[in-house]
Structure 1
Amino acid sequence: MAQEVRGVIAPGKDEPVRIETIVVPDPGPGEAVVRIQACGVCHTDLHYKQGGISDDFPFLLGHEAAGVVESVGDDVTDVRPGDFVILNWRAVCGKCRACLRGRPWYCFDTHNAKQRMTLTDGTELSPALGIGAFAEKTLVAAGQCTKVDPGVSAQVAGLLGCGVMAGIGAAINTGEVGRGDSVAVIGCGGVGDAAIAGSRLAGAAKIIAVDIDDRKLEKARSMGATHTVNSRENDPVEAIRDLTGGFGADVVIEAVGRPETYRQAFYARDLAGTVVLVGVPTPEMKLELPLLDVFGRGGSLKSSWYGDCLPSRDFPMLIDLHLQGRLDLGAFVTETIRLDEVEKAFERMHEGDVLRSVVVL
């Protein structure tokens, strides 16, 4: 029987979000209903609100979430009611060419729930990243649910659902940061700080944080940065080279998603070094680089999709590291808020005052 719950929707482009009654259907084959315990406020949600991702309004916002499975549909065997899970937006199919080649983190046919949640008047909602977790309950594909140790707080666990996993994965999975490497991270928001934390976890010897905001650079140090560069005051390429013996960093992670910062990353890496783009550009952005430089500098230019993570592999591992005290996920939570405070959280995000506001239900 369908249920009615409270949820936060974006009704139209740049309109204030509001709380509405959401109708959540019973799970069909391959689907699950999850009772949400906590959900982070991610910049991607703001992109949805601003119409920067699509115009398929109204959106049911929220996607960095953790909660408890309430019910499952037919043919669901990996999770069952009562399981504590983190939601992910890349449920792998197991059948596409990437999955069949043993690279499911690149799955080219990820999927979401087939049914739509609606408003009480029958208006279909578009769930953010196929999740829609600024709600008391949500409907997802069962493959979007990853079981983890229930001893972890939902407030921190849900952050692996997007930004924190993207940053950690950009360092560990995509950049393949290793012991003794030098790493530079350009852009010290939530994703950049997670890349710093991931680089420290991987054993990097030198981690250089680059940003234009001294407040963010101070936070980056607490996450594991060994050096900081204010790129409003200093040339970041020269600063990174100076800090690495004149050579450049082994791995440079660009967590902004702009042509000018990507160029900085490209020239701040050592010969045969690696550039990882994890910041998300907008459709109109163009990049121009001398092709001879691309050839002559060698190495790898990589894009990182969701930290190239495999949720079933990475989420339980990172939660275990957190519970062992080796990865402080709690450091990413700036504040906890209510559902009716999401609009204010977007305003604080603009001001650069928070890493993550987390809605607690």
Structure 2
Amino acid sequence: MKEITMPQTVRGVVAMAKGAPVTLENIVIPDPGPGEAVVAVQACGVCHTDLHYREGGINDEYPFLLGHEAAGVVESVGEGVTDVAPGDYVILNWRAVCGSCRACERGRPWYCFATHNATQKMTLEDGTELSPALGIGAFADKTLVAAGQCTKVDPAASPAAAGLLGCGVMAGLGAAINTGNVGRGDSVAVIGCGGVGAAAVAGARLAGAAKIIAIDLDPRKLEWATDLGATHTIDASTTDVVEAVQALTGGFGADVVIDAVGRPETWKQAFYARDLAGTVVLVGVPTPDMTLELPLIDVFGRGGSLKSSWYGDCLPSRDFPMLIDLYLQGRLDLDAFVTETIGIDGVEAAFARMHDGDVLRSVVTL
């Protein structure tokens, strides 16, 4: 049932042009139409993907309304919306499954190829249409999304922590639990321990891995990974990664190796650092120009699985409430990912800190 009958003007962080510093603009939020919801944003993490949008690394559909790792409260819903209602506490997701694509019809909605976004556009005050980051656009007081992008969770969870499941932390947790299928007693190596890699470490711990090897060039990130469950660390700036992983695993290699960097060099390290019949999971996002060359006999001879993980192969309706329950039970420390909380006018400075590796996550609180 609709609660609002007029468009609203709120503040939002916008990337107006490629490489230009973001600006705080007045944006117009339309009344929700059929299948849509307006959400009052309480917190939104600053993710590398937002910086990629600003830099033109996603597409050139400027201006972008940035922000997508968010939690908030549903303010109003449009016609036909039954899964959420005004007052519901939700995490926003960019996988609003369609239910009718070939993946959904085969019972694999975590691979949905046609996820929903809001039909209407948010705009600047002059009517210029905005492209919301990952169909969300949550560096704003309020945002318009498809109702399926709202996943209800326990309102006892801190918005700053809960919102991170909307992207990076879910990607890492899911890379270990869903894509890598890490099991009790497994050995796991994680290459790159920023936000996503650190979450993969936490996911491996949650799954019961016996040995969790964190690999990075930055000692601070190795410390963060240790706090989240890594049992061993490797400084890749001084050590051969493949040899070091093999040395820690009886000479064999790890059962699961997760590449949270997404470069040809790190993927090859992951490939050769796994045990025979082991699994490689690529969750770091490469750029379009990157290529890979491997002896095909090595691919054949080593066996196992070479996988890519999209959004941690998550199903938000299944995974978000479960992970929030684990957080509230004290079994998943989502608070550890929140390095700092900032105001909505602090996003540009947060990009610089993120680029320099000074934070796991800066979180905008509203």
Structures share a fold, TM > 0.5?
yes
Q: Deviation of residue 218 (structure 1)?
A: 1.1
| CA deviation string 1:198-249 (max 9, x = no partner) | 0000000000000011111111100100000001100000000000000000
Deviations 1:142-186 (A, max 9, x none): 000000000111010000000000000000000000000000000
- 2:15 corresponding residue in structure 1: 10
For structure 1, the residue ranges without an aligned partner over 5 or more in a row are: none
State the TM-score, normalized to the length of structure 2: 0.98
Residue 49 of structure 1: how far off its partner (Å): 0.5
After superposition, give the CA deviation of every residue in 1:315-354 in whole Å (9 maximum; x if it has no partner).
0000000000000000000000001110000010111100
Equivalent of 2:173 in 168, 173, 184: 168
Structure-2 residue corresponding to 1:313 = 318
SS in 1 for 2:75: strand
Aligned pair partner of 1:303 in 308, 315, 328: 308
Aligned to 2:3: none
Q: Percent identity?
A: 80
- The answer to whether the aligner puts 1:56 opposite 2:70 as a matched pair is no
SS in 2 for 1:276: strand
Between the aligned partners of 1:115 and 1:54, the Cα distance in structure 2 is 20
2:37: which partner in 1? 32
Count of equivalent residues: 361
| Residue identity opposite 1:298 in structure 2 | G
- TM-score, with length taken from structure 1: 1.00
**Equivalent residue, structure 2, for 1:206:** 211
Q: In 2, distance between residues paired with 1:351 and 1:98?
A: 39
Per-residue CA deviations over 1:275-306 (Å, capped at 9, x if unaligned) read 00000000000011110000000000000000
Counterpart for residue 85 of structure 2 = 80
Which of 42, 47, 52 aligns to 1:47? It is 52
State how far apart, in whole Å, the 1-side matches of 2:182 and 2:364 are: 32
Give, in whole Å, the separation in 2 of the partners of 1:158 and 1:216: 21
Answering whether residue 187 of structure 2 is matched by residue 153 of structure 1, we say: no
Taking the aligned partners of 2:354 and 2:170, their CA distance within structure 1 comes to 19
Which of 311, 318, 325 matches 2:330? 325
Give the secondary-structure state (helix, strand or coil) at the position aligned to 1:6.
strand
For residues 335 and 225 of structure 2, the distance between their equivalents in structure 1, rounded to whole angstroms, comes to: 14
Residue in structure 1 matched with residue 239 of structure 2 by the alignment? 234
**Aligned counterpart, 1:135:** 140
Partner residue in 2 for 1:193: 198
Following superposition, the deviation at residue 117 of structure 1 comes to: 0.1
SS in 1 for 2:358: coil
| 1:337-352 superposed matches below 5 A | 337-352=342-357
**Aligned equivalent of 1:119:** 124
79, 82, 97: which one aligns with 2:102: 97
Q: What displacement does 1:16 show?
A: 0.4
Per the alignment, in what secondary structure is the counterpart of residue 68 of structure 1?
Answer: strand
Equivalents in 2 of 1:349, 1:308: separation in Å?
25
Poorly superposed stretches of 4+, deviation over 2 Å: none
Amino acid in structure 2 at the alignment position of 1:52: G
1:222 is aligned to 227
Task: Report deviation, 1:80.
Answer: 0.3
Instruction: Please report how far the alpha carbon of residue 111 of structure 1 lies from its aligned counterpart in structure 2 after TM superposition.
Output: 1.5
Q: Aligned partners of 2:336, 2:99: CA distance in 1, in Å?
A: 34
Distance in 2, Cα, partners of 1:109 & 1:7 = 27
> SS state of the match for residue 241, structure 1?
helix
Q: Distance in 2 between matches of 1:202 and 1:75?
A: 38
Secondary structure of the corresponding residue to residue 225 of structure 2? helix
1:254 aligns with 2:256: no
1:20 deviation in Å?
Answer: 0.3
| Matches of 2:245 and 2:19, distance apart in 1 | 38
Q: Which runs of 5+ in 2 are unaligned?
A: 1-5
> What is the alpha-carbon root mean square deviation over aligned residues?
0.4
Q: Tell me which residue corresponds to 1:274.
A: 279
One-letter amino acid of the counterpart of residue 301, structure 1: L
Q: Counterparts of 1:253 and 1:329 in 2: how far apart (Å)?
A: 20
Q: Distance in 2 between matches of 1:21 and 1:214?
A: 41
Partners in 2 of 1:47 and 1:283 — Cα distance?
13
Q: C-alpha distance in 2, partners of 1:146/1:90?
A: 10
Once residues 213 and 190 of structure 2 are traced to their aligned partners in structure 1, the CA distance between those partners, rounded to angstroms, is 6
User: What is the alpha-carbon distance in structure 1 between the residues aligned to residue 346 and residue 206 of structure 2?
Assistant: 33
Question: 2: CA distance between counterparts of 1:218 and 1:190?
Answer: 13
